[in-house]
Chain A
């Protein structure tokens, strides 16, 4: 029995909001990165739902793109976190606030 499309989209939205909340609330940069991953996956789920609803393969293709991009982004993000840690000796995002007015 197929799940109604609206509920699928709702799932994607809820996942996205959870991810967003995680980014805003968490202090540790690694957890922020994980939350961003959750957001990306939520967006990918939305694409899959769309593809299934219209019966095209484009949704799956987009999800592949998103996955590849997420992997690359994680690589870059972890490298940046290492640099951040070298400079500020801590993984607290709030410590890196030198560029203030």
Chain B
């Protein structure tokens, strides 16, 4: 059954191929069935592969499946091969399962749009590339998936050091050979890790490369749910987890990961607090939550990061789909200040959205978000690379998270009703919401902290592949105090949001903002900053460089050509006497040449 691994990747590509070739001629229902069915079959295959993988495999020994030799030249010989271990199993489970739900949701969501088949082609391609990314056993194939998801996300809205040192891009080989060859803290290790971090920052929208994510909210909500919540933005997290050996060889870079995570989570949180577009709130929230994952990676809490990734995928996809439902029924209205009083009219959407919001705010004990975020908070303090400053930042971020989340809930669903919803979502749209809501509630129970039952199913699952976190040991009481503080912070945030936003009248659709609020609204004005630091100097330099030597040379060439043109044009002026004169002159010249001795 494990041999079906290749099917998991192949099925979405097959679906994309069928729809690309025949999508125009198929009726809408057939397109939807092919598009949703391919991912659902892939999810079932993932489930079966996972079962077979875990059966009798308590050590979590990885499973490799080679399809064929891809390139074989000068010693570079990557294969199309898949590597299944506990980490990649987690990722493919999330990708296929949440992906299938999102595809099901988008079938009626996009029903009225143009290019229905093409939408599913790109969505299937995206899932196929993402699966290739996480199952790849060498960096080249991973990079193919990496670029593929970038291409598909562009289509949807849109290694040298390692190779020369190890003569292979096979990830496992690199990870075993690297500690032997590179000393801890050596320049090569630092450079490699830093470059990998750069790619991860860009893909996962962390500081300072986070500006693209809020602008990507122009895509329809299922796309946002798939790409910007559950899958593509977590590719950076995956890359860092996958190459963790290289990061532990460069402690400076690993600390940088933690600091970037901490900065980003505050940055995203404060920006989310001042938005009026519901999807931008969720976009900045995604930036902030991935900051938590980076924080966990930076302090060496590998399984906590992946745990939070999985739980975050559930509730963030749920929130995006729920927000999409609200936008869909409110005739494409994105502004929260124009919504209100929807909780009675859209009960299923409201309750699932509320569950997602509670999970995001990490309300204690009942939501999965509590367990995952709490573990990150605890380990940011207790890990050997953690510190009080990081813990405090995470705590502040949790407070802000609860605040903006419940602000969003109260503005959208409570208060006076500004506009009437046009229709109710059908079962295809509400079923994913319900399933994701249930997962957001119970998904956390596979990993309970030490003093609450000490269930470590998930961390043991991940630790078969990634190393365990080094904890400078603290007692259970310290952990309990930390948990209580975290719980109190979350509840306080929700309470303050209740006080400020519940049933308050907000007349203005776009609120009047003072300069601080505008600063946060624009996402800390990074667009303006990059414009003045990067764009404006380049434009200035290119303007003063308009007439340099090379330009002059080409301008002279063009001028000569124009001159010749004018000269030749003058000889063709349509006057008979002129032509006759030319004839005469030509004859004289010819005769002179012929008869001159």
Contact = CB atoms under 8 A, between A and B. Distances in A.
Interface of A: 20, 23-25, 27, 32, 93-94, 96-101
| Residue of B569, B577, B584 contacting most chain A CB atoms (<10 Å) | B577
B572 interface: yes
A20 B582 CA distance: 12
B575 A93 contact: yes
B574 to A, nearest CB: 3
B22 interface: no
Closest 4 CB pairs of A and B: A97-B574, A100-B574, A101-B572, A99-B574
B581 interface: yes
Contacts of A99: 574
B589 interface: no
A93 B573 contact: no
Nearest to B565: A101
Contacts of B576: 93, 96-97
A30 to B, nearest CB: 14
Given A23-B577, A24-B584, A101-B573, 13 more contacts: A20-B584, A23-B580, A24-B577, A24-B580, A24-B581, A25-B577, A93-B576, A96-B574, A97-B574, A97-B576, A100-B574, A101-B569, A101-B574
A25 B383 CA distance: 105
Nearest to A26: B577
A94 B577 contact: yes
Interface string B570-592: 00111111001100100000000
Contacts of B580: 23-24
Contacts of A98: 574
A38 to B, nearest CB: 14
A93 B578 CA distance: 10
A20 B568 CA distance: 25
Interface of B: 568-569, 572-577, 580-581, 584
A98 B573 CA distance: 8
A24 B585 CA distance: 11
A25 B569 CA distance: 23
B438 to A, nearest CB: 80
5 contacts: A23-B577, A24-B577, A96-B574, A97-B575, A98-B574
Nearest to B575: A97
A74 B574 CA distance: 23
Contacts of B575: 93-94, 97, 100
B573 A97 contact: yes
Nearest to A93: B576
A100 B584 CA distance: 20
A92 to B, nearest CB: 10
A94 B575 CA distance: 6
Nearest to B581: A24
B345 to A, nearest CB: 75
Nearest to A101: B572
Contacts of A20: 584
A78 to B, nearest CB: 16
A86 B574 CA distance: 19
B587 to A, nearest CB: 10
Nearest to A29: B576
Contacts of A23: 577, 580
A97 B577 CA distance: 10
A24 B574 CA distance: 15
Contacts of A96: 574, 576
Contacts of B569: 101
A100 B580 CA distance: 15
Contact of B573 (A24, A27, A100): A100
A32 B575 CA distance: 14
A25 B581 CA distance: 9
A96 B575 CA distance: 7
A23 to B, nearest CB: 6
A25 B584 CA distance: 12
A45 B569 CA distance: 40
A93 B568 CA distance: 22
A24 B580 CA distance: 7
Contacts of B584: 20, 24
B347 to A, nearest CB: 79
Nearest to A97: B574
Contacts of A93: 575-577
A27 B576 CA distance: 10
A32 B579 CA distance: 14
A25 B578 CA distance: 10
A32 B581 CA distance: 13
Contacts of A27: 577
Contacts of B574: 96-101
A21 B569 CA distance: 25
B562 to A, nearest CB: 15
